[in-house]
Structure 1
Amino acid sequence: MDAGCILRRLASMILSSFLVGLVACAPPRSSLITIGAKNFTEQVVLGEMLSQEIEAVTGEQVDRRFYLAGSYLCQQALVSGRIDGYVEYTGTALTAILKQPLPPVGQRDEATVFREVSSLYASKYRVKVGPGLGFEDTFAMVVRGDDAKRLGVKTISDAVRTTPDPNGWRLGVGYEFQSRPDGLRGLEATYGLKFAGDPRTMDLGLLYRALSSNQVDMVAGNSTDGPIRALGFVVLEDDKHYFPPYEAVPLIRQDSLQRHPGIRVAMDRLAGEVSADEVRGMNYAVDSEHRDVAEVVREFRKSKGL
């Protein structure tokens, strides 16, 4: 055996020993609670809220893996065990993750959707759907306040009959809304909406900036977004009830609940404690007042006696 071969074998043995040492020193999964969140403000607020409550109950530090790029990545992280849980919305879970068709309009009530989502997560992924936090964050078609007043537009159906431009509304959407089954195509079919050209697709954080600067006339936002109230925008009523319920609920792996019973206690303590106005206020504090998420959440929890 030549000297080069001996050196290569020696290097390989050293590297192997080093990797084994790293694995041996890594904490076991059961010693670490990891909470995820998607990549927009409200999700980070809710992820921080769940994390702080778990820490308060268990006395353990929670690892935060926030700003995961959307529902699909959060689902993959949850199923693979890279995170123990995150907060999802029932309508998003039903259509985008569980791939179920939209229920008939008369069956889109909150309780029916919650039962179906809970059953499917348990049977397919061994994931527990926790009790709702107390609010819904539905998709919302948002326009400028002066346009709504000038055109007399209050509902999505009103927006079909009148537009700020003869060619139609200039629409801005996030990446998920354009492709989701409960998104743009179904909305267009349900209402017969016509838009001026293709929608402008952008990061969620840029939607209201584009609307404010007249780059678009309507955006597909979320009903609890802070800038809606701050900038005087108007949410058009979904008068045909196209969108299903989007109740905010924690999703937690069942094996994580067995290892860390305190997570269930934390979920129960948060159940029904967060109103739409309260989460809208927290979103505004982070987005517009540039306050620290952890501080905003601590103040909210203190106000609730948590």
Structure 2
Amino acid sequence: MMQQIEQILTTQSGELLQALGQHLEISLLALLIAAAIGIPLAIVLTAHQKLAEAMLQVTSVLQTIPSLALLGLLIPLVGIGTIPAVITLVLYALMPIFQNTYTGLIGIDPALKEAEIAFGLPRAKRLLRIELPLAMPLIISGLRIALVMIIGTATLAALIGAGGLGTFILVGIQSNNNALLLVGATLSAVLALVVSALIRWLGTLSFKKITVSLAIFVGLFGVIEGMTRFQAPQTTITIAGKLGSEPEILMNMYRDLILEDQSNYKVTIKPNFGGTTFLFNALKADKIDIYPEFTGTVLQTLVKSPTKTNQNPTKTYQLAKKSLQEQFNMTYLPPMRYQNGYDLAVTAAFAKKYNVKTISDLAALNQPFTAGFDPDFYHQKDGYQGLKDTYQLNLNAKIMEPSIRYKAIADGKVDVVDGYTTDAEVARYKLVVLEDDRHFFPPYQGAPIMKAGFAKAHPEVVKALNRLAGQITESQMQEMNYQVQVKHRKARDVAHDYLVKQKLISH
């Protein structure tokens, strides 16, 4: 484990620093906004006790909303990326900041306040010279609590493309790489401790020094933020993908193919970006430009298709391409050779014990076996929802992250899992894939999907990505997934090696 961690720190130091910077940027921005809202609001409401109590109730309720649910609610309103992440973190940070500021101000000795008035001090001077300095220890404490909470919750920002240390945690979970997960979690904890210590030190200063320090910090933060965001005009392309190693491999192939001929382009990769509908909505909203999608999923989930999906891969692709063009004005490029279809798998011991070889055999047992399904498979019509109607399956289905479900079946925690025909874990755990004897699953060939306007504006990108058409066999993709998930190689290195070996790029 230590050797793996040392290797990650050595080979991925650049990515770690970038993720650390993103995490710190999101966290500090959220803290500044929350403080700018919470502190003045507490000051105003000290004269309105009932309103202050109502505000405390509102901020407390916000704390009870799961962060993932809050992110999901914000995405349709403000899109994806940094904005919904910051809004979510601000809402979580409001309670400790508002509560501590209000408590600090109302806790001042009433006799002291009467003396202030007797001396004829204006409200602003009373606040700045006496009340805020006295309340400052509690205010600083509220900021510390809020920031630690923000840094911990900010790891979820990776799920909506905002980056940060959560990216390493998420990739570690998906690739079953505990070293990567530990590095991301440890750096997040260290960041929280360091920043908390800085705020604690800030609390030891006088009120005047605190205000000056905060003013300098806000100014520097604004300057650095402006410098990092200022760039010369440049073609920027954003490529995203679903959870797992395979989408990340494909995304990196897309990037390398584009940069082969257009080295001046800026191509941003957003791996582990979410489920099917999340990605498709992001594409429609122009938050991303390209993502890899499979033909069967297009017809079963994304478009309105009046006919049953054809089992012929070519006809399936043509219908998917036509439907995307007509219904969403999107371009679907020619697919790769391999098919990455859904399947159901059981252990060899389970298959032998119950004598099951097909999905019909499993359904005929009519027992509520425990199943571990990934979120996409569980919810989609081309997944469990359609499968249970076709086969009259009676399973006790539980939603799990893709990598976790394989570990669960290997440990005997579940009896059945969904998977893909190119998954490396099938061979790794010696699982038995059940035959789809009623031919429910449609053909699944992957290809880049993009808006028609983007394709028209960037014919060079279309030309570059079309080099993958008809490429990659199932065995090749299985091997690449194995290299990432089991050998813990970087997806970008595995993708690059394949393209070079197949002479799709020069070096």
| TM-score, with length taken from structure 2 | 0.52
Q: Per-residue displacement from partner, 1:159-214 (whole Å, max 9, x unpaired)?
A: 22348xxx44221111122221222232122112222xx31111112110111011
Q: How many residues align?
A: 283
Counterpart residue identity of residue 204, structure 1? P
Distance 1:57 1:144 in 2: 46
Alignment of 1:227-246 (within 5 A): 227-246=425-444
Report if aligned partners of 2:258, 2:464 keep a CA contact under 8 Å in 1: yes
1:39 is aligned to 2:243: yes
Report if aligned partners of 1:131, 1:267 keep a CA contact under 8 Å in 2: no
Q: Per-residue displacement from partner, 1:4-24 (whole Å, max 9, x unpaired)?
A: 9xxxxxxxxx9xxx9xx88x9
Match of 1:177? Answer: 377
Distance 2:445 2:359 in 1: 21
1:85 to 283, 290, 306: 290
**Larger CA Rg, structure 1 vs 2:** 2
Distance 1:168 1:104 in 2: 29
Match of 1:136? Answer: 339
Distance 2:478 2:434 in 1: 17
Alignment of 1:288-299 (within 5 A): 288-299=486-497
Report if aligned partners of 1:129, 1:252 keep a CA contact under 8 Å in 2: yes
Distance 1:161 1:124 in 2: 40
Report 1 or 2 for greater relative contact order, CA contacts < 8 Å, sequence distance ≥ 6.
1
Match of 2:91? Answer: none
Distance 2:387 2:415 in 1: 17
Instruction: Report the CA distance shift for 1:153/1:189 in structure 2 as closer, same or farther (over 3 A).
Output: same
Match of 1:124? Answer: 327
Q: Per-residue displacement from partner, 1:41-96 (whole Å, max 9, x unpaired)?
A: 11111111111111113223411122211111211221122221111011111122
Report if aligned partners of 2:359, 2:434 keep a CA contact under 8 Å in 1: yes
- Determine helix, strand or coil for the equivalent of 1:33: strand
Match of 1:98? Answer: 303
Q: Which runs of 5+ in 1 are unaligned?
A: 5-13
Match of 2:255? Answer: 51
Report if aligned partners of 1:207, 1:221 keep a CA contact under 8 Å in 2: no
Using the TM superposition, give the Cα deviation of residue 99 of structure 1 relative to its aligned residue in structure 2, in angstroms: 4.2
2:280 to 75, 86, 109: 75
Between 65-74 and 211-220, the greater mean CA deviation after superposition = 65-74
- Determine helix, strand or coil for the equivalent of 2:443: coil
Match of 2:418? Answer: 220
Counterpart residue identity of residue 210, structure 1? A
Distance 1:48 1:294 in 2: 5
Distance 1:90 1:235 in 2: 21
Counterpart residue identity of residue 358, structure 2? T
Instruction: Report the CA distance shift for 1:58/1:160 in structure 2 as closer, same or farther (over 3 A).
Output: same
Using the TM superposition, give the Cα deviation of residue 246 of structure 1 relative to its aligned residue in structure 2, in angstroms: 1.3
Higher helix share: 2
- Determine helix, strand or coil for the equivalent of 2:258: helix
Q: Which runs of 5+ in 2 are unaligned?
A: 1-123, 125-218
Distance 1:225 1:246 in 2: 14
Match of 1:64? Answer: 269
Match of 1:271? Answer: 469
Using the TM superposition, give the Cα deviation of residue 258 of structure 1 relative to its aligned residue in structure 2, in angstroms: 2.8
Match of 1:9? Answer: none
1:194 is aligned to 2:397: no
Higher strand share: 1
Using the TM superposition, give the Cα deviation of residue 281 of structure 1 relative to its aligned residue in structure 2, in angstroms: 1.0
Q: Per-residue displacement from partner, 1:87-137 (whole Å, max 9, x unpaired)?
A: 101111112222436x437x3322222122111211232221111111111
2:482 to 280, 284, 287: 284
* Identity in percent: 28
- Determine helix, strand or coil for the equivalent of 2:272: strand
Using the TM superposition, give the Cα deviation of residue 26 of structure 1 relative to its aligned residue in structure 2, in angstroms: 5.6
| TM-score, with length taken from structure 1 | 0.84
2:363 to 160, 169, 178: 160
Distance 1:168 1:72 in 2: 29
Using the TM superposition, give the Cα deviation of residue 296 of structure 1 relative to its aligned residue in structure 2, in angstroms: 0.8
- Determine helix, strand or coil for the equivalent of 1:159: helix
Distance 2:390 2:272 in 1: 32
Distance 1:152 1:56 in 2: 52
- Determine helix, strand or coil for the equivalent of 2:326: helix
1:248 is aligned to 2:446: yes
- Determine helix, strand or coil for the equivalent of 1:250: strand
Q: Per-residue displacement from partner, 1:245-297 (whole Å, max 9, x unpaired)?
A: 11111112222223322211222211111111111111111111111111111
Using the TM superposition, give the Cα deviation of residue 27 of structure 1 relative to its aligned residue in structure 2, in angstroms: 6.0
Distance 1:128 1:95 in 2: 18
